């Protein structure tokens, strides 16, 4: 058992840290430039095999990338993570040879952006209750329904959309489809005004008699729910990495602030140092959980429990760390443009998306009790 990153991973981590520090911008606008720069470095298809245009890197290395980018801009981290783990992996894991050839090189190279459309108004936590329909017609299916809170809605070039071919079959009717931007019958709503991860665009997705050829069905009819759940296992480790980035950034900011205060003659009170030490220890614990989940995922073994534990613990910590760091920095952190305010808002969003942390607790408990 080893508890440290390899020399090669440490050098990658330094590369990502340099890239994030020097190239990733923060601001209010959609981070197009960040994504372009990430694509130039091969970061939009980092864990995708080289034969499909990716970098062929391990899943843990990809998680290190998301953590470092999220330390600077969690929205950019979120867009890349969603694009990779639930925008590109559906085709890598479940696509036909033809689907892989058509989509993977563009997705892995960052010329195309991927998105995942599962959630609906009546099917958020209870994903199996979705009611978007896929009616078989000659040569394919007609999709109708409305998807909500789709990360990269309106920006994405390819959506993995989940709809049911027969609602009476429950999860066994749910089927996955690949839908390209601009398809007739596909419409995106106006971007949501969210409290966090504001630079990632989130919209609804309307499916109105949208024709999908049978060649764009992903897997078999009825495979959709299992496909969605197994993809979310990996996706949740990416969200956990965003949590690590946000918790780390909050602590780093506070340490810098306290050192400046000390340099100006203000001693750090014992109460403050206790709080800081607690957070630093919990961040190390979160890292071990997240990296272990990534290692399990990388080994090809089902990682539902590990992924949910990592997502729950790291994103809860991100909220706790950003909140406590705001307390520790006091008035200085109460300005709207203080980074801690952004970290707090982004952290709150990571607790909620790709399955709220209550859902993660359900997944963990079910694995324990089965
Ligand atoms: N990997 C592979 N298969 C899985 C799986 C996983 N991680 N999780 C569930 N399945 C399979 C089960 O094995 C089961 O198949 P069988 O009936 O053949 O045994 C099937 O899927 C149904 O599973 P389950 O009974 O656990 O489904 P539930 O309806 O109870 O849903 C939760 C389980 C709540 C965990 C699920 O609805 C969920 O994750 N909800 C949150 C959705 C979410 O994260 N949304 C974010 C959208 S992206 S922003």
User: Is 129 contained in some domain?
Assistant: yes
Model confidence pLDDT, tens digit, residues 148-162: 999 999 999 999 999
Binned at pLDDT 50, 70 and 90, residue 332 comes out as confident
Gyration radius (Cα) of the chain, Å: 21
Ligand 1 within 6 A of CB of 230: yes
| 81 shares its domain with 174 | no
| 198 shares its domain with 140 | yes
Ligand 1 within 6 A of CB of 128: yes
Binned at pLDDT 50, 70 and 90, residue 345 comes out as very high
Q: What is the pLDDT of residue 288?
A: 97
Model confidence pLDDT, tens digit, residues 264-320: 999 999 999 999 999 999 999 999 999 999 999 999 999 999 999 999 999 999 999
Please give the average per-residue pLDDT across 171-181, as a whole number.
98
Which ranges constitute the DSSP H helices of the chain?
7-23, 32-40, 59-72, 74-81, 89-94, 97-109, 224-263, 270-298, 304-329, 339-352, 357-369
Q: What is the pLDDT of residue 352?
A: 97
Give the residue from 222, 254, 287 where a domain finishes: 222
Q: How far apart are CA 114 and CA 87, in angstroms?
A: 4
Q: What is the pLDDT of residue 237?
A: 98
Q: Is the pLDDT of residue 167 over 80?
A: yes
Binned at pLDDT 50, 70 and 90, residue 321 comes out as very high
Tell how far the Cα of 351 is from the centroid of ligand 1, in angstroms: 18
| 274 shares its domain with 177 | no
Tell how far the Cα of 370 is from the centroid of ligand 1, in angstroms: 14
What's the CATH code of the domain at 139? 2.40.110.10
What's the CATH code of the domain at 243? 1.20.140.10
What's the CATH code of the domain at 45? 1.10.540.10
Whether the Cβ atoms of residue 83 and residue 232 lie closer than 8 Å to each other: no
Q: How far apart are CA 121 and CA 257, in angstroms?
A: 43
Binned at pLDDT 50, 70 and 90, residue 335 comes out as confident
User: Is 297 contained in some domain?
Assistant: yes
| 234 shares its domain with 358 | yes
Instruction: Map residue 160 onto helix, strand or coil.
Output: strand
- Atom index in ligand 1 nearest the CA of residue 233 equals 7
| 364 shares its domain with 256 | yes
Ligand 1 within 6 A of CB of 237: no
Q: How far apart are CA 259 and CA 343, in angstroms?
A: 20
Tell how far the Cα of 178 is from the centroid of ligand 1, in angstroms: 20
CA dist list (Å): 218 to 21, 92, 156, 354: 38, 11, 18, 20
Give the residue from 170, 192, 222 where a domain finishes: 222
Q: What is the pLDDT of residue 50?
A: 98
| 31 shares its domain with 153 | no
| 53 shares its domain with 119 | no
Best residue among 86, 229, 240 to mutate for probing ligand 1's pocket (most ligand atoms within 8 Å of CB) is: 229
Tell how far the Cα of 232 is from the centroid of ligand 1, in angstroms: 9
Whether the Cβ atoms of residue 5 and residue 13 lie closer than 8 Å to each other: yes
Residue 157 host element (H or E): none
Please give the average per-residue pLDDT across 326-342, as a whole number.
91
Give the residue from 109, 137, 167 where a domain finishes: 109
Contacts of 316 (CB under 8 A, 6+ apart): 243, 351, 357
Q: What is the pLDDT of residue 265?
A: 93
Number of folded domains that form the chain: 3
Binned at pLDDT 50, 70 and 90, residue 341 comes out as very high
Q: Is the pLDDT of residue 333 over 80?
A: yes
354 flagged as catalytic: yes
Q: pLDDT exceeding 70 applies to what percent of the chain?
A: 100
Q: Per the confidence metrics, is the pTM higher than 0.75?
A: yes
**Cα 110–16–352 angle (5° rounding)?**
70
Model confidence pLDDT, tens digit, residues 244-280: 999 999 999 999 999 999 999 999 999 999 999 999 9
Give the mean pLDDT of the chain.
97
Q: How far apart are CA 143 and CA 164, in angstroms?
A: 9
Q: Is the pLDDT of residue 1 over 80?
A: no
Instruction: Map residue 209 onto helix, strand or coil.
Output: strand
Backbone CA torsion sign across 179, 33, 93, 354 = negative
Q: Is the pLDDT of residue 171 over 90?
A: yes
User: Is 1 contained in some domain?
Assistant: no
Q: Is the pLDDT of residue 334 over 90?
A: no
User: Is 269 contained in some domain?
Assistant: yes
Residue in the block written with tokens 């999860």: 171
Q: Is the pLDDT of residue 7 over 80?
A: yes
Identify the active-site residue in 23, 33, 354, 358: 354
Q: What is the pLDDT of residue 351?
A: 98
**Domain region containing 294:** 229-369
Model confidence pLDDT, tens digit, residues 94-108: 999 999 999 999 999
Whether the Cβ atoms of residue 81 and residue 238 lie closer than 8 Å to each other: yes
Residue 96: is it exposed, middle or buried by C-beta count within 10 angstroms (0-12/13-18/19+)? middle
Q: How far apart are CA 250 and CA 341, in angstroms?
A: 10
| 364 shares its domain with 241 | yes
Ligand 1 within 6 A of CB of 120: no
């Amino acid at each position: 058992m080893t508890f440290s990153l390899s020399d090669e991973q440490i050098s990658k981590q330094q590369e990502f840290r340099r890239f994030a520090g020097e190239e990733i911008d923060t601001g209010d606008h959609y981070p197009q430039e960040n994504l372009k720069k990430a694509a130039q470095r091969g970061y939009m298809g980092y864990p995708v095999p080289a034969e499909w245009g990716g970098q062929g890197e391990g899943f843990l290395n990809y998680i290190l990338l998301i953590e470092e980018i999220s330390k600077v801009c969690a929205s950019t981290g979120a867009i890349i993570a969603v694009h990779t783990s639930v925008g590109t992996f559906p085709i890598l894991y479940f696509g036909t040879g033809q689907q892989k050839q058509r989509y993977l090189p563009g997705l892995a190279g960052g010329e195309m952006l991927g998105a995942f459309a599962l959630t609906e108004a009546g099917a958020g936590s209870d994903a199996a209750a979705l009611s978007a329909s896929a009616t078989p017609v000659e040569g394919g299916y007609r999709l109708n329904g409305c998807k909500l809170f789709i990360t990269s809605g309106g920006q994405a070039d390819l959506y993995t959309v989940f709809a049911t071919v027969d609602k009476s079959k429950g999860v066994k009717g749910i089927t996955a489809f690949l839908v390209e931007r601009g398809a007739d019958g596909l419409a995106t709503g106006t971007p949501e005004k969210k409290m966090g991860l504001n630079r990632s665009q989130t919209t609804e997705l309307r499916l109105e008699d949208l024709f999908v050829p049978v060649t764009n069905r992903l897997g078999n009819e009825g495979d959709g729910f299992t496909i969605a759940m197994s993809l979310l296992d990996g996706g949740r480790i990416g969200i956990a990495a965003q949590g690590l980035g946000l918790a780390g950034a909050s602590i780093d900011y506070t340490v810098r602030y306290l050192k400046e205060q000390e340099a100006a003659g203000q001693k750090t009170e014992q109460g403050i140092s206790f709080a800081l030490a607690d957070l630093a220890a919990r961040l190390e614990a979160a890292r071990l959980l997240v990296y272990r989940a990534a290692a399990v995922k990388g080994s090809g073994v089902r990682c539902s429990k590990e992924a949910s534990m990592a997502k729950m613990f790291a994103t809860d910590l991100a909220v706790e760390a950003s909140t406590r760091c705001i307390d520790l920095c006091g008035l200085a952190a109460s300005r709207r443009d203080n980074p801690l305010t952004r970290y707090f808002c982004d952290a709150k969003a990571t607790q909620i998306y790709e399955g709220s942390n209550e859902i993660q607790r359900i997944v963990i408990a079910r694995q324990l009790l089965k």
